[in-house]
Structure 1
Amino acid sequence: MTDSLTLPAGPMGEWPELLPGWVWLCGAGPGDPGLLTIHALNALRQADVVIYDALVQEAILDWAPQAEHVYAGKRGGKPSAKQRDISLRLVDLAKAGKRVLRLKGGDPFVFGRGGEEAQTLIQHGVPVRIIPGISAGIGGLAYAGIPVTHRDVNQSVTFITGHDQTGEATASLNWKAIAEGAQVLVIYMGMKHAEHIANALLDAGRPADEPAAVVSSATTPDQQVLETTLGRLAGDIAASGLEPPAILCIGRSVLMRQVLDWQALMNGETPRDLDPLGRGLPAEVS
């Protein structure tokens, strides 16, 4: 894989150079190596050191054979590197004149602590470049055949983290406002506290029969999708045996998986329902 993949010519000439003493903070996407950006690939080709997270696929690191690979993953309930140590190590490596690539799953600025790391670097006088990535809350759902927005369903979407800095269920959220304010909810890192989240939304008025889905190991060969309802969410997760990492989606857009499960279609299956929203009209008709 490393030998056959080359960068195309840049749209404005040469691709940016990762200079010694710089840190590029880069999103690796939700899992599938094909969802990397060309800027990310360019960074991998140049880095002296790649500091990578738990959700970065090993195949992605193969595109940086010249670099030192340093694991700095954080997984709930498991021994993990401390955030302060990760941030300061980035500073030390840059100060030592290394070309440093900080590779984070998804997008570094979407529940990825990228803002903290970038701020630390800048406070220590280290130059940075930010390379966005495809967030699991968008790309992971798309791989499951769930559009995060659909004009017959929602004009808003809310992204939520399932836990706070302590690892416990987020206590500062106004669940009533969330329940009333967005038709579709996308919850990162919500598996552990799924019962708390579901009960909070039900107490705030969301209907128990509202469609819900869990996408585990999104965009990877291990991807699994659970379709359920808000009222059954916690129990069905427990019964399914699904493991993190996972994205939770709550809202009627989940129904679109019945027609848009493109991976099932590739395997020769037929759509379960060509009109899952019950519009009674062809999709092209407004």
Structure 2
Amino acid sequence: MDKQPEKPAGKVYLIGAGPGAADLITVRGARLLAQADVVLYDALVTADMLELCPQAVKIPVGKRSGQRSAAQEHINQQMLEYAAKYRLVVRLKGGDPMLFGRADEELHALESAGIFYEIVPGITTALAAAASVRQPLTKRGIARSVALFTSSTAPGESADTRIPECDTLVQYMGGKEAMLTAQRMLAANFPGNLPVIVIENCSRPDECSQALSLDDLAKGLPVSTGPVLVMMGEAMRARTKH
């Protein structure tokens, strides 16, 4: 009996979807989505983005802060199972896969199973937000360093209460955690008039932003319906019109 040819192993692509708008994904990311057999996508991935892969089987895998999401172990197992059945599997993540995207666990699972993978970077929300509100994260003579951080933790983890030592602070998954950050900053003698910009639903049609102070932020933010990013520092102070 002739030996049947082995089915070629599938490959998994971890692709950054960017901040939200479908036209902010990279050309490489869009090309791979158009070729994908299966797409495992996060809750922050927009419907417009999924229109780039009409041919693919689309599997929602949650991953929204503060809401119910698929267990990371289950997501890892799904990647392995689909890679055994299909040629091209995409794990589509909001922003960039390598920043607050649980990529370490997913890469470990793929490596342990001997599955080939590739990472396609995406525009992280901090950069898209700075562009949207026209406030550079760095400014000559004012801000030479930037810290991207989150206070959001997995169940059982203790929150890290340290304030990064940088000129510009950008807090992902802000919401009520940003209020607590502001309170800790004030307790650490940061000035109450430190400029803050809050952006919700960055790059999407319903994007909104507001400029306030650290004192204002310490009093809390309105309940949000989408992802919130908070940028703090002198670089966020409104520019003088010339």
1:183 aligns with 2:172: no
8 Å Cα contact 2:176/2:220 also seen in 1: no
Provide the C-alpha distance between the structure 1 equivalents of 2:86 and 2:38, rounded to a whole number of angstroms.
Answer: 11
Q: For this pair of structures, how many residues does the alignment match? A: 235
Secondary structure of residue in 1 paired with 2:215: coil
Q: Residue in 1 aligned with 2:106?
A: 117
The RMSD of aligned alpha carbons is: 1.8
Provide the C-alpha distance between the structure 1 equivalents of 2:206 and 2:26, rounded to a whole number of angstroms.
Answer: 22
TM-aligned CA distance change 1:244 to 1:174, over 3 Å:
same
Superposition pairs for residues 132-281 of structure 1, below 5 Å? Answer: 132-166=121-155, 171-175=159-163, 178=164, 181-235=165-219, 237-238=221-222, 241-255=223-237, 258=238, 273-274=240-241
8 Å Cα contact 1:191/1:244 also seen in 2: no
What is the TM-score with the length of structure 1 in the denominator?
0.77
Describe the superposition over 1:139-177 as per-residue Cα deviations: whole angstroms up to 9, x where unpaired: 122112221212232110111112122287x633433xx
**CA apart distance, 1:93:** 0.6
2:54 maps to a residue whose letter is: P
8 Å Cα contact 2:65/2:152 also seen in 1: no
Provide the C-alpha distance between the structure 2 equivalents of 1:225 and 1:64, rounded to a whole number of angstroms.
Answer: 31
Provide the C-alpha distance between the structure 1 equivalents of 2:155 and 2:56, rounded to a whole number of angstroms.
Answer: 33
**CA apart distance, 1:236:** 5.3
2:93 maps to a residue whose letter is: K
**CA apart distance, 1:60:** 1.2
Secondary structure of residue in 2 paired with 1:41: helix
Secondary structure of residue in 1 paired with 2:122: coil
Provide the C-alpha distance between the structure 2 equivalents of 1:71 and 1:141, rounded to a whole number of angstroms.
Answer: 29
The structure where strand makes up a greater share of residues is 2
Provide the C-alpha distance between the structure 2 equivalents of 1:223 and 1:42, rounded to a whole number of angstroms.
Answer: 26
Provide the C-alpha distance between the structure 2 equivalents of 1:236 and 1:115, rounded to a whole number of angstroms.
Answer: 32
Describe the superposition over 1:86-129 as per-residue Cα deviations: whole angstroms up to 9, x where unpaired: 11100111022341011100001111112221221111111100
8 Å Cα contact 2:37/2:86 also seen in 1: no
Deviates more, 1:25-34 or 1:200-209: 200-209
Secondary structure of residue in 1 paired with 2:221: helix
8 Å Cα contact 1:144/1:218 also seen in 2: no
Describe the superposition over 1:163-214 as per-residue Cα deviations: whole angstroms up to 9, x where unpaired: 122287x633433xx2xx2111000012121221111111122111100011
Give the alignment partner of residue 108 of structure 1, picking from 91, 97, 102.
97
Describe the superposition over 1:25-78 as per-residue Cα deviations: whole angstroms up to 9, x where unpaired: 000000111111111011111100011111111111111111011111222332
Q: Which has the higher contact order (CA 8 A, sep 6+)?
A: 2
2:62 maps to a residue whose letter is: G
Secondary structure of residue in 2 paired with 1:141: helix
TM-aligned CA distance change 1:221 to 1:234, over 3 Å:
farther
TM-aligned CA distance change 1:111 to 1:245, over 3 Å:
same
What is the TM-score with the length of structure 2 in the denominator?
0.91
Task: Provide structure 2 residue ranges, at least 5 long, that are not aligned to the other structure.
Answer: 1-7
Provide the C-alpha distance between the structure 2 equivalents of 1:41 and 1:75, rounded to a whole number of angstroms.
Answer: 22
8 Å Cα contact 1:137/1:247 also seen in 2: yes
